[in-house]
Every structure is written in structure tokens, then in C-alpha cells.
Structure 1
């Protein structure tokens, strides 16, 4: 059995929640407190051992916690949360690989990314698929991308809720279930077609949930881009950057993790693998979320990867080789 590294998992600490609650108490925050496994490091290690997972990339849980908060109010809580991620990894350096999280992409939050990488030795940064409704290609975020480009670290994109239309909070779970893949698609497409990836050549993206539904819709994406570049006179409002490379050059810098919430279905993994290729898929089971208090998906996804009709070398890349290359492990 090859080494297994979980490339995307989520964790929380009481200290981080306490700091956030001082300035932004929400029902989402209260919900996290009702799930002890979000905080239980020893239980997490037992989970890793039970499923044969050697190491785990950890980042901060629950992007919804930051929705609606003033950036000035959130800064100290962000710093505390990132310090906590570093502390957890330091206590178990052979099991956890720490990554930063920033809920905003301007001003002091750019400095926080640099602090996390240069001072705390973190391996990358998690952002959300929209920033309180602002798209990731917003001009105000250029300094963030330039900084990440300079640091030469990968970006994890976790989907975030967005007010695409009015809905009450009791239906939020439906939007997490079905709209998160959509929001991931929009984030990836805008980073490509607005030219962010073109301008910042070191940027590499790890997209949660195997790229949303991006792999499934790739033919539509290619076709629409082709028709709008071939016939600009027919399409009068395409905001498309003058990309310097073919589309595949940008797709090659996007990775998908295997957190597809599988209940035994292999076709989502096969679709993602066909699009991303064996060099751009990384293992994840989205712990600690999912059925059986976060235990279930690993028991489904690991066997599915083992059963894929691919060379053993490709299977090893998915389980650990690709994320080790990305993070220089």
C-alpha cells in the first residue's frame, strides 16, 4: 500500500472559535461547538490510523463562519486561528501539514499570508470561492495573487455560500449540497478567463470536491470559449482576457481532490480523473465532515481509488505523490 496523504481536511480549535465569537457570533459557530470531532486531535489521529492515512493537510473548517463579518473585526481571529493550526501541527509533526486560511484577500490579510508562510512555515493558503459575494478575479485582489505567486505556494479553494437569490437559513444545507460545486466552477472559470492565472505564472490551485462539476462541464467550457474567441462580432459582451497560452496550460495548474462524497459511485472519480489527469488529482475524504461523524467517506473513497483501472504509479500519485510534489514534502 502506498503512502496516503489527505490533501484537504478541516479542523477547528476552541481558542479560534472563542476569538471569532467575540466579534461575530453566528448560528454556524454554535453548530460547530456541537461537533466535538471538529476539535478532537487525538480522535483525528485514531481516524488516520484506522484508515491507513499517514499524514493529513489541515486547514480551518467552515467558511460560513466568516460571512458578513467586518474585515477589521476578523483580523485578530484569523491570526489566532492560523496560530492554532500551526500549534496542532507542531504537536504532531509526523501526522499534520499546516496550511493558512484567510477570509479576505486585501490589506492586512495579504500580510497574514506572508506571515503564515515565512514565519510559521505553512505550506499554502486556503481561500473561499467568493469573498462575501465578490468574485475571486476582483481587481482589488491582485496584491494577494502577486504575493502568493512570489511565495510560490498553492491555493486551496473551498466553496462558500453566496446570495445568488433569497433563501431562508433552514435551506442553507441544500445550497451547500448543490450550489457549492457551482460556486467552485465560477471561481475557477473567472481565475482563468479573467487572466489571473495568466498574469501570475506560479499560481497553482487545489479545488475542493474534485473541482465541483467543472470536469463534467469541460466540453461546454471549451466550446463557449472557442465560439467567443472565434466570433467576437457575434458576442458583444464577452469579458475574456487575451490569454497567452492554450486553455490546457491553465487547466494543468488546477488540481482536484477526491472529496466527492461518494457512497460507492466510481463515475465521479473517473470523470474527474479523465479531466484532471493522474498528475493533478490528490486524495481527500473531507474529514471531519460526512456520514458516521466523518468516518464514512474514507472507507468508500480509498477502496474506489484502489479499484480504478489505472497503473499503480498513477494510484501512488493520487494517494500522496502529487501533494508531496506540490508542497515539496
Structure 2
């Protein structure tokens, strides 16, 4: 029995990391990732993990998205290389890595659907999807076969934000002070969640399980605006002239769909934000996750501070065990990790 399973940690499998180093972008956009030792050095990663008793990790692909690194046959090759590597790590180190969520490239939807079948056979518990594919939203009709396949196979989705340094104001050319990362990523997640809700995804696939990074982003904090602005009567706002900009008909209030998402605790140790998200999603839908290894200590800070934040909430033991172990176990593998 494990004391804690980290539901969202990132890694570069060895062969994938080696391939990245040969790519032209390795000295540009990739540089900040390639210099983070915990992403690729297993012995270093293990030493950090050993600082936390009973600690194991669900593996997910590291950013940047495969779609941003390549397209065509190269993107498909990178996708398969990533997933082969993740599966191999879980096979070789089951005591440390009990499961993985596969990576997908959505450039070629047919190839992505085929990869879902392949990784399902390899034992993947789900897939990680980014909140858009080079600017194309996930609710675009071209991606429906991907969601259909995942729902048919009962595989979970890890929904990860992705946003570059595009300007925060139309009079500028680039985001300043890394605002695009600190605030832009939660905004990006919230937009993707709303688009999936209003596309009718959960009406088509009510059993689909989607884990949202950073505790559901903006959604818990703006629950009141969701209820008032997207209620059955659409609030009291003047609707836009273009009817296509209005949400389509749903089977229940919008706020009910937002509560269907799962959420992780990757909030960099913010106690009040953790409490807000837990109150919103409920103890059965919150998963312990740190976002390892993206901190100045190579991951230790995020794990330690996330644990401290949950400790500060002084939760009942049964609730805490749900968050630390039971929810991710039930979500990905029918109780295998209990």
C-alpha cells in the first residue's frame, strides 16, 4: 500500500530525451526543459522521490506539446517514441511508477485514434491532451473521433494548459513578466473546459473522465459567475447578435457540467486555493498532484508544499486518503493501488 500517489508528474523517457537533443529547436524553445535534470535523469529523480515516504508517481509527458515540436510523420514518430518510453518506465519501475498517461499528437486524427488503441493495449490509463492544438480548440469537430475513442475505451484524460508568450494587450507583441505562464495557463484551461462543456461533450459521453490541472484553474473561484452568467436563462446579459456565439442547448445547467471534471492539487502549496477547489469539486473528485519537477529544487519544493497545504486543511483521515491514494486508484485502474 502506498501512502501517496502523485497523479500528475512530467518526464522525458530516455530515448525521447535523446531524440529531442538532436532537434534544431533544442537550443531554442526546448532549452528550458532540457536543462531540468529531474525530467530525464532517473537516478536524480529517484533521490528526490526518496525524500518522501511512500511516494509514487503517475507519469505524463512533459511539455512542450509534441504538436509544437513537429508535424507529419515526425510528430507521429515522436508520439510513439514518448509512449514506448513511458510504458517501459512503468514496466521497469512499478514500485515507483504504477501507471502512465500517454501523449498524443492531434495533427493527424486518424494516427491519434490508432495510438489510443495501441497505448490501451500497452496498459496506459489514459492520455494527456493539451488545451488546444496550435490554436485549434479541442471542441473542433475534427477532434471528435479522439474523444469518441477515449470514451469507448473508458480511458481518462489529463487536460494540460498550453500557452506561449503571446501579448496580453493588442498594442504589444509579447507577454511581459511571464504573465502568459502564471495567469495565462489557468485561463487557457478554463477556456478549454468551457468549450468542452458547451460543445455537449458530457451529454454525448457522460462517463468521460477529465482531470484538470491546477485544481480546475479559474472555475472554482468563479462558480458564482458561472451560475449567474451561464444559468438556464443565460443571466440578464444582452446576447450577441451572432447566435453562433451563444452556448448550445444542454441537458442540464452549465454549472453541473463543470463539476463533472476532476481536479488536481497542483497549486504550488496555496492553502486557501486548495480549500476552494476541494469545496467546489468535492473530496471524491480531487487528486493529489504536484506538477513535479517544475520548481527550482527539481520537484521537491512542489511535492513538499503540496503536502503541507493538505496538512494545513486538517482533513479527516478518510478524506485525506481519498485524495492521496483512493481517487486516482479508482480513476485509472479500478482500485489497483489501494
Matched-pair contact (CA < 8 Å) for 2:69–2:75: no
Q: Give the equivalent residue in structure 2 for 1:3.
A: 3
TM alignment of 1:1-329, pairs within 5 A: 3-20=3-20, 25-26=25-26, 27-64=28-65, 66-67=67-68, 69-96=70-97, 97-104=99-106, 106-118=109-121, 120-161=122-163, 165=167, 171=176, 173-226=178-231, 228-229=233-234, 234-236=239-241, 237=243, 238-262=245-269, 265-327=270-332, 328=334, 329=336
In 2, Cα distance between equivalents of 1:2 and 1:152: 25
Kindly provide the CA deviation profile for residues 233-287 of structure 1, in whole angstroms up to 9, marking residues without a partner as x: 855434322212344542343111111012xx41110111111111111001111
In 1, Cα distance between equivalents of 2:237 and 2:203: 21
TM-score by length of 1: 0.90
Higher helix proportion (structure 1 or 2): 1
Matched-pair contact (CA < 8 Å) for 2:165–2:180: no
Kindly provide the CA deviation profile for residues 80-133 of structure 1, in whole angstroms up to 9, marking residues without a partner as x: 011001111111012211210113161201111111112x11111001011100
Shift of 1:227: 6.3
Matched-pair contact (CA < 8 Å) for 1:102–1:125: yes
Matched-pair contact (CA < 8 Å) for 2:210–2:262: yes
Matched-pair contact (CA < 8 Å) for 2:68–2:134: yes
In 1, Cα distance between equivalents of 2:110 and 2:232: 38
Secondary structure in structure 2 of the residue aligned to 1:156: strand
Shift of 1:212: 1.3
Segments of structure 2 that go 5 or more residues without pairing to the other structure are none
* More off after superposition, 11-20 vs 69-78: 11-20
Segments of structure 1 that go 5 or more residues without pairing to the other structure are none
Secondary structure in structure 2 of the residue aligned to 1:320: helix
In 2, Cα distance between equivalents of 1:183 and 1:135: 10
Shift of 1:216: 0.8
Q: How many pairs align?
A: 326
